[in-house]
């Protein structure tokens, strides 16, 4: 986006120093892009243990816009809280996801994770994880079921400790103000 | 005889092919949206993801519409039609409708809605034909004729008691391992399962070639069925349309929306008025006989508009029916921890039939084991976080399947199509739009619950339990088996058809699509519609 002589950069800096609605809007857009970039990185590692490729980044950035999930400002207080927490680290994504799958199933975070999963499952070579998963055999599969069940339970407890107060608070605010608490 | 056929769906093309063979002159009017070019036809399903420049665009669409998200206030779905089938549902600007209780899918594609079908081909038996003005023996030769034309795979097994055995069934494709293990378990305990549950299992019947013929390839197990068969082993009506186009007596006029019939004073059709889909051209078409074959919704719309144009009267066409569908995912425990092969036939390969004291209340089910269907809706539907769900899904995927249940429907006066005025000032030159009214049968929840309870026990005994909490009742209209608004009737009644599908009201009009069905059994109806269209062509022309 920078011209060889750097003129574009200078103009942007000038606009920014003047402030005003245009600069605020540009800053907000840049902020959203940074958040989405951070989000896709964490979410991709969470879902498939791999960093996203440039192709996946580009697809996800377009997808959240197309499916109207790009702008945090349009979200409810609790949806923003779940996203802010989930973006911090893969572990927090898991805690948040475990909580949301039970108590906030149609929330924005799960919609975003589903959207990214839809992209990942159709993009080689990550798609192989879904099309030709490793075969464990029946005994290991049952063992994995137990381990995963226990991990989910612990994640759910952690998620509840982190998010239940925020959800109750946002519900209370919504009831008071008739706003977008949920 | 000059014959004008409106619509290129399964009934239109098979009717046309039959009358062409009898040397009639046939013109077919159609919007005829064309299928886009097939992407990389030599690739299999997994190869597509590696070889396409932009696989996400191919699989999810330009606007990512094929990603199924857990949206608030909506029932979660397990699959959506892929973007490669979007053309099937593109509608011209002239077509507008309002719905009350039923959301229909309507197609204006060359080949019609069946361009996106799953190929189920089940003949109706005498019990299911009891409301029809003909018996199974009368239509049986035409089932055979259609089977010869399109290629139907199936086996004569336990299910033959529900689906009579007609001529020209070809051997079915190889079963995938999940289906094979399920069927083997059933066969091991067959007598016990039937006597205990009154449920029978067998091979599906479906329109696919296992060996190539007539310029079509045989199934090569590439796993692309859902996305569009690249070597035409899987039948769609556009293949028969291609056959019609090769006839010297056939004229295909694509790009026209059939608007209304101009009715003569003696109630016969004087001509059809059609509008060019692109531009604003208008053309009239004259013939000795007019054949409506554009699907129940569009056929009814054309009749309603014709009556309105002729008399300014808005009538009702009652008796709209559709199969209620229920999707019940299950897990075949015999496949736990095993690998699976995505290079296999993708649609249903097994079917179940439920015995009932009242044989007209037959319930039909199709079993689709999941291989190349998109996985994100299934994973998102599990009551687990994504990390856990993905890990478990990998272990269980080879054993996953979905049972799709069909329930019958019958004509009721309160389900109808009509026109409604949309203009505020009631301007006389404004077309009223089509409105569709549908209420499911009162006993719908009870019969669904009862069937599901029996099937849960049956699948449990097959060691393939139906997964709790994941069963979904599809929204009304998802069955895409709309029918019944202009039914055949032995009795001469207004807005009904004779045994040969000739209108009692408009003498030079024949209706050969789903609108002519007086009863909708719990089976895929397309095969019967094709056979009936051939029957009408042979008997009335």
Residues B218 and B372: their CA atoms lie apart, in Å, by: 19
For residue B350, CA distances in Å to B210, B255, B286 come to 16, 39, 46
Residues B471 and A158: their CA atoms lie apart, in Å, by: 30
pLDDT of residue B131: 96
> What are the chain A neighbours of B336 within 8 Å (beta carbons)?
138, 141-142
Residues B52 and B65: their CA atoms lie apart, in Å, by: 19
Classify residue B504 as exposed, middle or buried by CB count within 10 Å of its CB (0-12, 13-18, 19+): middle
B55, B70, B388: residue with CB nearest A106: B70
Q: Residue A52: phi, psi to the nearest 5?
A: -75, 145
Question: By three-state DSSP, how is residue B382 classified?
Answer: coil
A55 pLDDT more than 50: yes
Confidence label for A3 from pLDDT (cuts 50, 70 and 90):
very low
Q: Nearest-CA distance from A87 to chain B in Å? A: 15
Q: What is this model's ipTM?
A: 0.85
Confidence label for A12 from pLDDT (cuts 50, 70 and 90):
very low
Cross-chain residue pair A123–B67, CB shorter than 8 Å: no
- The tens digit of pLDDT for each residue in A84-99 reads 999 999 999 999 999 9
Q: Which chain A residue shows the shortest CA-CA distance from B396?
A: A141
pLDDT of residue B11: 98
pLDDT of residue B52: 97
Q: Answer yes or no: are the C-beta atoms of B152 and B207 closer than 8 Å.
A: yes
Cross-chain residue pair A152–B395, CB shorter than 8 Å: no
Classify residue B36 as exposed, middle or buried by CB count within 10 Å of its CB (0-12, 13-18, 19+): exposed
B45, B385, B397: residue with CB nearest A155: B385
A142 touches chain B (CB under 8 A): yes
Residues B327 and B472: their CA atoms lie apart, in Å, by: 5
pLDDT of residue B344: 92
Question: Mean pLDDT of successive 10-residue segments in chain B (541 residues)?
Answer: 98 98 98 95 94 96 94 72 90 88 94 96 95 97 97 92 88 94 97 96 96 94 94 97 98 96 96 92 96 98 96 96 95 89 92 86 92 88 94 90 95 97 61 94 94 97 94 90 97 97 98 98 96 98 97
A150 touches chain B (CB under 8 A): no
Question: By three-state DSSP, how is residue A172 classified?
Answer: helix
Q: Answer yes or no: are the C-beta atoms of B348 and B367 closer than 8 Å.
A: yes
Between B95 and A17, the higher pLDDT residue: B95
Cross-chain residue pair B69–A122, CB shorter than 8 Å: no
| Average confidence score pLDDT of chain A | 85
Q: Which of B145, B73, B157 is nearest to B528 (CA)?
A: B145
Residues 6+ apart with CB under 8 A from B97: B104, B106, B297, B301, B433, B434, B435, B436
pLDDT of residue B365: 97
Length of chain A: 182
Write out residues 275-314 of B within 8 Å (CB-CB) of A.
none
What are the beta bridge partners of residue B97? B434
Question: By three-state DSSP, how is residue B238 classified?
Answer: helix
Residues B340 and B397: their CA atoms lie apart, in Å, by: 8
């Amino acid at each position: 986006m920078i011209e060889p002589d750097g003129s574009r950069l200078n103009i942007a800096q000038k606009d920014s120093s003047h402030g005003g609605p245009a600069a605020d809007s540009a800053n907000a857009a840049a902020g959203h892009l940074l958040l989405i970039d951070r989000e896709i990185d964490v979410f991709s590692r969470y879902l498939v243990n791999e960093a996203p490729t440039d192709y996946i980044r580009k697809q996800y950035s377009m997808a959240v816009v197309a499916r109207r999930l790009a702008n945090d400002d349009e979200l409810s207080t609790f949806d923003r809280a779940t996203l802010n927490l989930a973006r911090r680290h893969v572990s927090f994504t898991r805690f948040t996801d475990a909580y949301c799958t039970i108590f906030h199933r149609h929330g924005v975070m799960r919609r975003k994770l589903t959207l990214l999963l839809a992209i990942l499952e159709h993009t080689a070579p990550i798609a192989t994880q879904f099309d030709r998963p490793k075969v464990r055999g029946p005994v290991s599969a049952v063992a994995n079921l137990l381990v995963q069940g226990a991990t989910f339970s612990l994640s759910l407890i952690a998620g509840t400790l982190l998010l239940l107060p925020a959800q109750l608070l946002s519900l209370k605010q919504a009831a008071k103000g008739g706003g977008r608490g949920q | 005889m000059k014959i004008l056929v409106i619509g290129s769906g399964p009934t239109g093309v098979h009717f046309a092919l039959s009358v062409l063979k009898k040397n009639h002159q046939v013109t077919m009017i159609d919007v005829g949206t064309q299928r886009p070019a097939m992407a990389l036809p030599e690739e299999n399903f997994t190869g597509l993801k590696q070889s396409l420049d932009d696989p996400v665009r191919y699989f999810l669409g330009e606007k990512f519409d094929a990603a199924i998200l857990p949206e608030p206030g909506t029932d979660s779905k397990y699959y959506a039609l892929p973007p490669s089938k979007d053309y099937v549902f593109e509608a011209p600007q002239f077509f507008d409708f309002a719905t009350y209780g039923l959301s229909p899918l309507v197609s204006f594609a060359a080949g019609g809605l069946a361009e996106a079908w799953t190929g189920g081909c089940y003949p109706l038996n005498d019990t299911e034909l009891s409301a029809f003005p003909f018996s199974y023996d009368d239509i049986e030769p035409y089932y055979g004729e259609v089977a010869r034309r399109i290629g139907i795979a199936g086996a004569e097994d336990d299910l033959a008691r529900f689906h009579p055995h007609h001529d020209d069934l070809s051997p079915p494709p190889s079963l995938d391992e999940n289906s094979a293990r399920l069927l083997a378990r059933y066969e091991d305990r067959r007598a016990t399962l039937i006597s205990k549950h009154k449920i029978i299992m067998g091979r599906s019947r479906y329109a696919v070639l296992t060996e190539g013929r007539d310029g079509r390839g045989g199934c090569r197990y590439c796993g692309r069925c859902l996305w569009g068969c690249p070597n035409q082993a899987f039948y769609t009506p556009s293949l028969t349309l291609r056959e019609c186009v090769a006839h010297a007596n056939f004229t295909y006029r694509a790009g026209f929306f059939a608007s209304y019939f101009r009715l003569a004073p003696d109630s016969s059709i004087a001509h059809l008025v059609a509008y060019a889909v692109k531009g604003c051209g208008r053309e009239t078409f004259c013939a000795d006989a007019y054949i409506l074959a554009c699907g129940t919704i569009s056929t009814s719309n054309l009749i309603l508009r014709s009556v309105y144009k002729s008399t300014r009267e808005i009538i009702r066409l009652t008796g709209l029916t559709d199969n209620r569908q229920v999707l019940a995912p299950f897990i075949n425990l015999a496949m736990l921890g095993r690998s699976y092969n995505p290079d296999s036939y993708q649609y249903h390969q097994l079917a179940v039939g439920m015995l009932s004291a009242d044989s007209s209340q037959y319930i039909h089910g199709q079993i689709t084991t999941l291989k190349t269907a998109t996985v994100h809706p299934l994973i998102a539907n599990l009551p687990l976080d994504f990390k856990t769900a993905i890990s478990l899904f990998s272990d269980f995927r080879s054993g996953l399947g979905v049972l799709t249940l069909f329930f019958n429907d019958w004509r009721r006066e309160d389900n109808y199509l009509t026109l409604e005025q949309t203009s505020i000032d009631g301007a006389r030159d404004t077309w009223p739009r089509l409105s569709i009214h549908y209420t499911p049968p009162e006993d719908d929840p009870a019969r669904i619950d009862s069937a599901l309870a029996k099937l849960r026990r049956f699948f449990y005994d097959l060691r393939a339990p139906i997964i709790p909490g994941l069963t979904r009742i599809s929204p009304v209209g998802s069955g895409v088996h709309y029918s019944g608004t202009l039914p055949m009737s032995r009795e001469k009644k207004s807005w009904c058809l004779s045994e040969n599908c000739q209108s009692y009201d408009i003498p030079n009009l024949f209706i050969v699509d789903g609108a002519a069905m007086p009863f909708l059994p719990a089976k895929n109806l397309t095969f019967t519609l094709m056979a009936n269209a051939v029957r009408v062509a042979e008997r009335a022309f």
